[in-house]
Structure 1
């Protein structure tokens, strides 16, 4: 539990630490606060494709980071931003040639 204590002392949540220091992707600053789902998806795609530390394919890394952020931000996301982030999932699917969910 040493890691948990470290984050509590600094006031940083473990999920923010994962987002900031992910060993898979170097994210563009503010990517999850953008208002355009296409821009979020493009940024995540660039980060995933540029990473040489990710353990899975670029699509999976990008969608996982986006889903992680949505799940961990939870109640802190306003409805509009959550809708934007969910729409970014479909944009990621399109960018990677996957079928968007209906």
Structure 2
């Protein structure tokens, strides 16, 4: 089974051509995109917005591991303080 739809791969091709021509700009800042990986990310994001078959965004493994570690660990139970009896 294909990971990406044909439409999404066409979108990547289209965006890569834009990048090579120097016409691809990033979101809010409007800076020119020169990194091919960033261009692919933009293309997949646009394809996802159009409803094409594209896998979900990857979450860094560090974040997943950190989240699991914090949810699994329970705070250690504290024993009630006991006072020693002193004899006079």
What's the TM-score once normalised by structure 2's chain length? 0.29
Structure with a larger share of its residues in helix: 1
